[in-house]
Structure 1
């Protein structure tokens, strides 16, 4: 009986450990690599989780062509176990590898481990592999690439081969020879691509690969060049706003514009070809819980919090202002945060400096221009800081519209709070410099509120123009990147003019409102 109880206890403990392990993303299957199912494979590399979404979209684009070949991904130690689980759920064969160090001293920091790409030449478990960078997608069947010779790649405009798409016949001898020469052959890029150009110096003279030839019509060669159809460069598309080849015949699209990767939400607002990538991304299935559409549970949670937090905060301020606890008005009952800010020493110190600077000044006879100038500068600084902080808060790989709406929501939210507090500071400054002889300000209402009609009109005007800036190129049907940027700049200048006009008027208005309220209070005290 004791033995049965002990066995049952051990089984319960084992089940508990398994549940905890699954909850934290630990899965024993990831340490047991799947065996190759075919003699040919599509291969890519993954150095860290940042490119995980790119690999997922690449795999989906390949599977959509109906291939039966293996999909293999070489992953380094920088890839998390959760990412490996997700790749395996997507159907990738995951192979862990160690990075090859870069022997070049003069190289970009991000090129530290790029020589690891040479390991595809040592994948001798396959007779032939088609390598694709993680920032590529397949838009049409490319099974004919497996008919290519021992080494195939595409030449770019500089007459140098590009290592983003390659066909390789793996060989242990070839790989060993490469390793012997990595420290002696020069690399014009400081990375693997420059090395391969040195290792295959005659590649520009190679024959062009013809996919229409039958196997018995092919002449054995060491190398063949691939058409641009198999490696369409988005960088070249941007220059001409069109593909350099027939767009309907494209096979592989390569997003080569440095930091502008298609998984970053803001790139679709600049580059028309990113639409192709995003269409495939939206069709990603839910391989693991919360991973549909290319999102991960962490990003979903962050997006949810960012979406509702400003709404809850504003609703709380409105409710607290209208229904103060126990009928006692508190600093939070003010429409802006200036009342709450009065509790802080820094706020009182700044207000004291402003008051000392303003004592004795005749603000009705030209000195309000200084208030206007200060308001303009503060308005633009706060707008830039609000946009920068909002951009920083948003996960990089959310959907483009999600990212833009969150950027808009948080920029308006942060700017409204910060600039509203600044207007409250000007109001308090005006009160501290007032006298009973202060002339009334036209348009003053007894219950001064940051939500009055004039202030609200300026606020809605700035909000509407802020929304119009990113949307205008799409409303006008502009697709060229430089034209889109130009439209952004033009619309941004209109927004800047309106912000200048609004800031100076609001700053002067709230300062003079404070002076009048302060003067009215003094009159009441004198009486």
Structure 2
């Protein structure tokens, strides 16, 4: 009866996972991202620009982020060209998608040499960020708003084109941020920057941030930008209000914005690369990640990732079905030998069993497309870890509840982090810590139970055939 109850329990969990997965998948498919956002060729005097280059492990993720930002600006009906400064090694199919599907103007450029790559503590992911200087070479425009692809636009910001020759936001008290800045293109300034780059102007970080910050050292002393009501353009340099570059880390402290100056228009994510908002694990780990994905769902959609998601889901369902049907045969992978090598075999089997359980929770994480919607990504992760755990459960005849205790723990952690009623980020972090503290004893008990079950299984002589024992002669069989 106990085995039958476990079988029913497993079937119900599989059914629940399948229903949850396809519900999330249908939500993503029904997104508004099926249509294009191609803008008609209107002769604008201003431009929103961003850059793309190759050579990092995250090139595709930044390509997707760039397309989402371009489409979100088009959806806001900005009165400006959308320009992508792309290095010559960017794949042609990406360039065509940006031009034909997203309505962007792609400017192909040669990568600028970075003379700071050999200085101490240089981060190699910033090697080609000097390409951002090409924004000053867009002399066909009066003003250019230069952007990083990790910006999330909340509303139209065309008033920025009224700013002067250079304007930026100080999200750090002493250093302005180059994730968004306004510039007046100038061939003279561009050539002078190239000269300063060639002679190796002092640059603390070796990236565009340090170089541009050193090129405009007195911006902190400049007046705050306030757009003139008559629409005229200002001269000189200005500081932009903080609302044009709201650092996402501020939000995580209070779970709300409290910026006293300027409009709350643009959120930026100047964090570690693996914490960018387009990764599926960004929510509910980082609450604002869902905002970026909602913007993608309403613009670009998730059609590129759906074939891989469907293939993985079918694969996981097939693993669960096949391991359940092959349970008696899988258990025969364990062997017993009644000599001194039996202890070695025991240790080896335990090692394989524990690593198979650990792999069940690690492998699915790396197989899921990085830029899929969080609801779909986490559902696929839970489905994959459940399926791979079933291999260990059926192969080593382990108790299902003990093996799946981490699975329930991860699912509970996601629910705790996703709760919307926390007063601030500190309370949210304490709640997650308290939940983890309460789960630790259950994880320890489940580990102990798994090890005990393995010992009992390996000791059952009737269950395990003797490895190395030769079968009795055929003649003896006839005698008996």
Tell me which interval the TM-score lies in, with the shorter structure as reference length.
Answer: 0.7 to 0.9
Cα 1:457/1:41, change in 2 over 3 Å? closer
Partner of 1:82: 93
* Contact 2:170/2:239, CA 8 A, preserved across alignment: yes
* Contact 2:413/2:432, CA 8 A, preserved across alignment: no
The 5 A counterparts of 1:328-367 are 333-335=326-328, 337-339=330-332, 341=333, 356-358=340-342
Flag the structure with larger Rg.
1
Alpha-carbon distance in structure 2 between the residues aligned to 1:257 and 1:484: 23
Partner of 2:386: 412
- Paired residue for 1:71, among 60, 75, 82? 82
Partner of 2:412: 468
Partner of 2:200: 184
* Contact 2:82/2:104, CA 8 A, preserved across alignment: yes
Higher relative contact order, structure no. (Cα contacts within 8 Å, ≥ 6 residues apart): 2
Deviations 1:397-435 (A, max 9, x none): 1111121122122222223314543x2xxxxxxxxxxxx
Partner of 1:490: 437
Partner of 2:301: 293
Partner of 2:280: 265
Comparing 198-207 and 305-314, the one that deviates more: 305-314
Secondary structure, counterpart of 2:167 in structure 1: strand
Q: TM-score, normalised by structure 2?
A: 0.77
Alpha-carbon distance in structure 2 between the residues aligned to 1:496 and 1:278: 33
Secondary structure, counterpart of 1:302 in structure 2: helix
Shift of residue 458, structure 1, vs aligned partner: 3.8
Q: TM-score, normalised by structure 1?
A: 0.71
Alpha-carbon distance in structure 1 between the residues aligned to 2:228 and 2:431: 40
* Contact 2:141/2:185, CA 8 A, preserved across alignment: yes
Partner of 2:190: 175
2:264 aligned with 1:250 = yes
Alpha-carbon distance in structure 2 between the residues aligned to 1:243 and 1:356: 68
Partner of 1:289: none
Secondary structure, counterpart of 1:387 in structure 2: helix
- Paired residue for 1:238, among 244, 252, 258? 252
Shift of residue 484, structure 1, vs aligned partner: 6.8
Deviations 1:486-513 (A, max 9, x none): 3674365255224223313322332344
2:157 aligned with 1:131 = no
* Contact 2:279/2:371, CA 8 A, preserved across alignment: yes
Shift of residue 209, structure 1, vs aligned partner: 0.2
Unaligned runs of 5+ in 2: 1-39, 54-58, 467-476
Unaligned runs of 5+ in 1: 1-33, 285-291, 322-332, 343-347, 360-369, 424-449, 520-524
Alpha-carbon distance in structure 1 between the residues aligned to 2:269 and 2:435: 23
Alpha-carbon distance in structure 2 between the residues aligned to 1:171 and 1:374: 69
- Paired residue for 2:215, among 171, 182, 199? 199
Partner of 1:303: 309
Deviations 1:459-498 (A, max 9, x none): 5555434432322322474573744753674365255224
- Paired residue for 2:360, among 386, 390, 413? 386
Partner of 2:455: 508
Instruction: State the Cα RMSD in Å.
Output: 3.4
Alpha-carbon distance in structure 2 between the residues aligned to 1:378 and 1:475: 37
Deviations 1:109-133 (A, max 9, x none): 1111111100001101111111111
* Contact 2:139/2:186, CA 8 A, preserved across alignment: yes
Shift of residue 518, structure 1, vs aligned partner: 7.3
* Contact 1:209/1:224, CA 8 A, preserved across alignment: yes
* Contact 2:242/2:262, CA 8 A, preserved across alignment: no
The 5 A counterparts of 1:1-16 are none
- Paired residue for 2:169, among 131, 149, 154? 154
Partner of 2:289: 274
* Contact 1:45/1:73, CA 8 A, preserved across alignment: yes
Secondary structure, counterpart of 2:66 in structure 1: helix
Alpha-carbon distance in structure 2 between the residues aligned to 1:35 and 1:97: 22
* Contact 2:327/2:394, CA 8 A, preserved across alignment: no
Alpha-carbon distance in structure 2 between the residues aligned to 1:472 and 1:116: 42
Alpha-carbon distance in structure 2 between the residues aligned to 1:60 and 1:484: 37
Partner of 2:69: 58
Cα 1:122/1:134, change in 2 over 3 Å? same
Cα 1:175/1:282, change in 2 over 3 Å? same
Cα 1:475/1:174, change in 2 over 3 Å? closer
Alpha-carbon distance in structure 1 between the residues aligned to 2:389 and 2:465: 27
